[in-house]
Structures are given as structure tokens and as C-alpha cells.
């Protein structure tokens, strides 16, 4: 069986693409991927998605998006693509469960995975004070002290954003100088709210037993000394990894591994479109991903009709 459209990924981009495609009568097949619902499911309260008068849990929002798409005929399956061949008019996908699937058009919405420190306490406190997105969660820490881990442009951008909301931002970096661009580094160092903590790594996050971040345990990489820094939030800003390993050779990727697009959502392969964090290294916002998902579905519909 050859499907009209297969959508890879079930976060805001994938679900919105499924909604638009289903309403167009394409009956899309959505492969949910390794993390059904995407990174949004790790967010507790979402306040900045249009139309939400009250905060909503990230998982609940994604479930609502999915049900809306299903109401119009989208089909969701627990499966994951591990290989792709987009060279012909019929696109082929190798998956873990169903084996080989075929489609006339494909939308890539597999997202990106945040890079974490790998600490057990960090994982236990994601959504409870630990975050990978300052613009998503910074407002919950208004007037409080927080820590940002990283030394590149992303960490500096996060620190500057949080400095407008928080009483103190501790920028923790393992080196004695920032890796960020000169302009970005100068802005950070000129801030009265941001305090760099040089030559230091996060050894632990306190306190999982309390169910909230109360401090971070720091280790100086030069002398090995330990100290606890009281903070209410920890923002990990050491980058993201786009979920594109299975796409190498199938579509063009940029130097960082994100899907390269032209005209908004078109990839280098005819009939293959991309939306959300898999092609967006900059914004990492649910509403931006959803908008791109809508565009990808509209482009896929035009392609199939044409």
C-alpha cells in the first residue's frame, strides 16, 4: 500500500501537519517516533501558546492536538523511521515496526533532542526547575535566582533573556572565557544581573526529594573544590541535536545536522517537506513549530494535487 502522506514525528509540528492534511482529505499516517509528543511533553505549564487562557500541561496540549487531528482522519502509529530513500516519486521509509512503508509525500517533523548534563537528579527534576528552554520557562522564575549552564551563544542568549526576569543569573562555564560571539559575550559580561562562574561544572542538582530545584552542586575543574549554589532553577544550554541521523543521504542537511530547507519548508528531495525543530535551530517554540507544520501540510497538498 502506498500512502498519500506520511508524517514523521508527533510533536506540535507533526500534529498540526496531520490536522491540516487530514482536513484536506489526505488521511495522513503519523509515525509517533521515539518520543511521542516530542519535547513539549517534558514541559509542565505552558502559558504562551495562543488560545490558552489558563496554563496547560505540555503533555495535555500535545494529546489535545493529536485528538483534533484524529477527529479528521489522521492515523497515528507507534513506530519510528530508521532509514529513508526519497530518490523516486514513491518515497520509501524503513521503520522499526512496520518494515518498509511507501508514500507519495513525506513531512519530516522528528524534532531535536536537548543535550543534557546526564545527571540522574537533573533528569528527575526536568519540568520541576530544570529546563532546556529559557524562553519557554523563564517566566516561572520571575524575581528568583537561577543558573544557566553553557558558554556559547545559546547560553548567553538564555542568560540575557533571564536577566530581564530574574534577580540573579549565574552563568556556569567549564572554561575561563565564553565561547560565544564577541558581541554576545560583551553583552553578558556587561550585565549587572549575570554573574559568570568560571572553570566550573555542575556536579549535582538538589533536591529530587523535595521535588524542586533548591541548589546546584558545583565543582571547580582546576582545584576540585565543591560548593552548593542556592538557585530555584537550572537552565541547561549546551545545545540540541536534530533527530536526523536516519536521513543522511536522503535529504540535504546543514553543517549542524538540521534539515536544509528552501521556500520555508521544502527539502532537497521533491515531495519531502520539513517542519519544526528538525529544521529550525533558532526558535525552539511550539507555536513556531505548529506554524511550520501547517505550511508543510499545505505544501504537501499542493504537491500531491499537482
Q: So which residues are the catalytic ones?
A: 133, 136-137
For residue 207, is the peptide bond before it cis, meaning its omega torsion is within 30 degrees of 0? yes
Spatial distance between the Cα atoms of 183 and 185, rounded to a whole number of angstroms: 6
Three-state SS string across 135-179, please?
HHHHHHHCCCEEEEECCCHHHHHHHHHHHCCCCEEEEECCCCCCC
- Angle at which helices 58-71 and 12-23 pack, to 10 degrees? 20
Spatial distance between the Cα atoms of 280 and 271, rounded to a whole number of angstroms: 19
Contact between 94 and 84 (Cβ < 8 Å): yes
Beta strands 112-114 and 100-108 are: unpaired
Contact between 178 and 200 (Cβ < 8 Å): no
Q: In the sheet where 215-220 sits, what is the strand order?
A: 200-206, 215-220, 226-230
- Please give the torsion angle defined by the CA atoms of residues 157, 163, 165 and 171, in that order, rounded to the nearest 10 degrees: 80
Amino acid at each position: 500500500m502506498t500512502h498519500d502522506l506520511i508524517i514523521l514525528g508527533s510533536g506540535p509540528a507533526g500534529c498540526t501537519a496531520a490536522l491540516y492534511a487530514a482536513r484536506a482529505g489526505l488521511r495522513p499516517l503519523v509515525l509517533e517516533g521515539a518520543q511521542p509528543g516530542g519535547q513539549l511533553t517534558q514541559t509542565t505549564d505552558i502559558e504562551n501558546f495562543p488560545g490558552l487562557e489558563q496554563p496547560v500541561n505540555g503533555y495535555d496540549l500535545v494529546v489535545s492536538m493529536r485528538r483534533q487531528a484524529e477527529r479528521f482522519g489522521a492515523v497515528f502509529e507507534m513506530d519510528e523511521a530508521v532509514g529513508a530513500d526519497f530518490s523516486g516519486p514513491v518515497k520509501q521509509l524503513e521503520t522499526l515496526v512496520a518494515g518498509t512503508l511507501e508514500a507519495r509525500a513525506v513531512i519530516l517533523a522528528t524534532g531535536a533532542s536537548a543535550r543534557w548534563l546526564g545527571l540522574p537528579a537533573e533528569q528527575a527534576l526536568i519540568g520541576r526547575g530544570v529546563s532546556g528552554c529559557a524562553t519557554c520557562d523563564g517566566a516561572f522564575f520571575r524575581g528568583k535566582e537561577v543558573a544557566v549552564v553553557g558558554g556559547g551563544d545559546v547560553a548567553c542568549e538564555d542568560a540575557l533573556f533571564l536577566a530581564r526576569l530574574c534577580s540573579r543569573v549565574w552563568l556556569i562555564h567549564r572554561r575561563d572565557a565564553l565561547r560565544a560571539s564577541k558581541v554576545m559575550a560583551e553583552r553578558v559580561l556587561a550585565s549587572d544581573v549575570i554573574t559568570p562562574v568560571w572553570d566550573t561544572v555542575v556536579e549535582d542538582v538538589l533536591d529530587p526529594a523535595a521535588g524542586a530545584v533548591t541548589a546546584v552542586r558545583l565543582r571547580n575543574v582546576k582545584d576540585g573544590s565543591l560548593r552548593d549554589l542556592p538557585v530555584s532553577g537550572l537552565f541547561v544550554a549546551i545545545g540540541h541535536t536534530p533527530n536526523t541521523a536516519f536521513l543522511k543521504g536522503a535529504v540535504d542537511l546543514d553543517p549542524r545536522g538540521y534539515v536544509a530547507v528552501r521556500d520555508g519548508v521544502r527539502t532537497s528531495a521533491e515531495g519531502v517537506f520539513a517542519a519544526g525543530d528538525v529544521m529550525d535551530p533558532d526558535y525552539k517554540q511550539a507555536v513556531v513549530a505548529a506554524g511550520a507544520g501547517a505550511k508543510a501540510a499545505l505544501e504537501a497538498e499542493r504537491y500531491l494535487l499537482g
